[in-house]
Structures are given as structure tokens and as C-alpha cells.
Amino acid sequence: MQSLTVELAERSYPIHIGRGLLDMPQLLAGSLQRKKAVVVTNTTVAPLYLDRLLVNLQSIGVQVVSAVLPDGERYKDWQTLNQIFDVLLGSRCERSTTLIALGGGVIGDMGGFAAACYQRGMPFIQIPTTLLSQVDSSVGGKTAINHPLGKNMIGAFYQPRLVIADTDTLNTLPDRELSAGLAEVIKYGLIRDLPFLEWLELNLERLLARDPEALAYAIHRSCANKAEVVAADEREAGDRALLNLGHTFGHAIETGMGYGEWLHGEAVAAGTMMAAELSAAFGWLTHSDVARIEALLQRARLPVVGAELPVERYLDLMSHDKKVEDGRLRLVLLEAVGKAVLSDKASEAQIMSAIARRLPNA
């Protein structure tokens, strides 16, 4: 097992990464305020891992109930969130009961938001089971649900007490979901860690083949990058925004196509290519840099062109982005491969042209 810490003073917490961690309830014991917990998961993950977690928690004397939600991005909404509150209230959970999110980013984001709201805040633990959630969404305390007009628009910053990434759970993950997770892994290399990007270029096939050693390395390195950024800028006053490379374009695809049509990681990959095109238009990236990024995303079996929506629709959806300030869109661009920057310099025409270059049949 490898461990690292997200340094946030009195709210610091560990991330444990390794094989078989679901069967080590002692990892959880120290982080439970009381011997009562509620596990939030979904109908796909429950048959795979819920019973094991429940039995292991009971073995250390924890009284535990579960909330099993429908599976899918389209359920990341108020109605489904309310199902968590129904279980919390129905089973008389107290403010000191711990909520454990067992699943991918959708469950982590919703479980975290429920924990932030229930009785104004209950302790919360993340047990991420997708690559995307192990490298990104379980770390850093962003929690949210979607609104029909925009992704992740209703939420809170609320840090977990502990993150446990059992890499064995990735063995049951569909290939398409593994690739979606790789989009966020590649992101860290592109925005701030060129040596990691070079490692990914050499080791991508090992990751696709689920080589446990390669996966553990990539997850640890991704979490180390994320932990460093979050520790320096928890509430995204500055550099944390750089973690959103490709996301403003990508969120437009997710919302525009209907939640769940495109996986988050797929939309981020296509959005990253749009950001790369805009960076090239500014003269920051060369055409061979753009081709290099495209080649890596393609090897990861990710889309490198966006969804077929009118360019004007992209712009409209992007205008809801959380990085909009005084009505002006700020975008994460690449000054160089391995170095991201937040910029409000792009004109509407430049943004539209970058999108158009990455549309089907462009």
C-alpha cells in the first residue's frame, strides 16, 4: 500500500492506494467518529463490492446501513440526492454518523454533497472504484449535482476524512470507463508534470492492459499532483482552475448531448483537443505539440473530436462555466506541453474557430 496526505491543516487527510484495501477495515476504523456508518453506492457497484464492505465494517463493530442509488450521470440530480437524505433520516443517522461513498465519481460527488448538507455536515469517506475517481474526483473536496443548464452547478467544497483506492476494484471496470479515467491521468502530465507525460507515452499500453504496478504508479502520481494543487488552492481562487483543462468545452458536450451520452473523461479528451487548438492559435503550442497530444489520447482510445453540436450551442453552454468572471470566459490553455495557464484572452471568434477545427467532418 502507498499513502500520501492532502495537506489542509486540521482538515488534512490520507489517501491510501493499493490492492485488497477493501478487505482492510482497520484502515477505516481510525477515521470513524462513531461506530455507525451509511454506505452510499449504486445498483452496479453494490452487487460487486457492497456486501464485502458491509461485512468488513460489521467485523470491527460498526453498525451500517446502505443507500443504493440508480446508476448513471443522469441521476446526479436533486431527486436522487434526496434518496440519500431519505435513508439518512429513515435510519436515524446522527451528525456524527460517517457517510462512505463507494463507487465512481457520480457516487462520490453526490455522497459528498449529501454529507456536506446533512445536519450541516457529517463526516465523509471516499472509496473510489473507477480509475477516474481514484485519480481525480475522490480527492480535493469538490462535491456537486448537475442542473439541466450546467454540469456540477449545485454543490459545495467539502473534504473527505479519508480516501481508500483499492486498485483491485478496477478489474471489473469496463474498458470504456478505464479509458475515460485515462483522460484525467493524461491531464496531469499536460498541465504540470512533463516527466509524467513522458512516462505515460512509454507505458500507456501497460495501463490499458491493467498492469497493477503501472496502474498503482499512475494513480499515486496523479493523486500527488492533485493533492499538491488542492493544498495550495483549496477553493480554486487561482491555480486549482488549471485542473480543468478541457473541462469547459467538455462540460458543454456533456450537457449539450444529455448527461451520460458522453462519459466525462471522453468529453474532457475532446475538450482538451479544443484547448490545444486554441493554444496553437496563440502560438504557444506547435502543430507537432497538438499532434503529440492527439496521438496519446487516441492511444488511450479516447475521442479527439467533439460532439456534433452547433458552435454557437457550445458557446452558449460554455457561458455557464464556473470560471466565468464579469461575464468573461476564462479558459485553461497550454503555454507549452506540461504547462497550463488560465487565460481570458481568447476572442469569441478564436474560441469558435478552435471548436470548429475539432468537430466531426471539420
- CB 41 to ligand NAD: min, Å: 9
Quote the CA–CA distance of 55 and 362 in Å, as a whole number. 54
Nearest 5°: phi and psi at 262? -100, 135
Residue number with CB closer to ligand NAD (36 or 138):
138
Q: By C-alpha distance, which of 241, 242, 271 is closest to 254? A: 271
Which residue numbers are catalytic?
A: 120, 142, 184, 226, 236, 240, 244, 247, 251, 264
β-pairing, 98-103 with 36-42? Answer: parallel
Q: By C-alpha distance, which of 191, 229, 225, 218 is closest to 338? A: 191
Coil, strand or helix at 201: helix
Coil, strand or helix at 344: coil
Residue 182, contacted partner among ligand GLY, ligand NAD, none, CB below 5-8 A by kind: none
Quote the CA–CA distance of 9 and 309 in Å, as a whole number. 44
Torsion-angle region of 72 (φ positive above 0: left; ψ -120 to 50: alpha; else: beta): left
Given 3-state DSSP classes, what are the helix, strand and coil percentages for the chain, each rounded to the nearest 5? 50, 20, 30
Q: x/- contact string, 223-252, with ligand GLY (CB under 6 A)?
A: -----------------x--xx--------
Residue of 25, 44, 116, 223 interacting with ligand NAD (CB under 6 A):
44
Unique residue bearing C-alpha cell 482492510: 24
Residue 240, contacted partner among ligand GLY, ligand NAD, none, CB below 5-8 A by kind: ligand GLY
Quote the CA–CA distance of 182 and 132 in Å, as a whole number. 7
Coil, strand or helix at 309: coil
- According to DSSP, residue 277 is labeled H
Residue number with CB closer to ligand GLY (53 or 243):
243
- CB 94 to ligand NAD: min, Å: 26
113-142: contacts with ligand GLY (CB under 6 A): 136, 140, 142
Residue 109, contacted partner among ligand GLY, ligand NAD, none, CB below 5-8 A by kind: ligand NAD
- CB 116 to ligand NAD: min, Å: 12
- CB 51 to ligand NAD: min, Å: 14
Residue 116, contacted partner among ligand GLY, ligand NAD, none, CB below 5-8 A by kind: none
- Name residue 5's beta-bridge partners: 14
Residue of 68, 81, 118, 136 interacting with ligand NAD (CB under 6 A):
136
Which position's Cβ is nearest ligand GLY?
243
Q: Does 236 bind ligand NAD (CB under 6 A)?
A: no
Residue number with CB closer to ligand NAD (169 or 346):
169
Grid coordinates representing 320 are 455557464
Q: What is the DSSP string of 200-237?
A: HHHHHHHHHTT-HHHHHHHHHHHHHHHHHHHHH-TT-S
Residues that bind ligand NAD (CB under 6 A): 42, 44-45, 48, 71, 73, 76, 103-107, 109, 129-130, 132-133, 136-137, 140, 142, 151-152, 169, 172-173, 177, 180, 264-265
Residues in contact with ligand GLY by CB under 6 A are 136, 140, 142, 240, 243-244
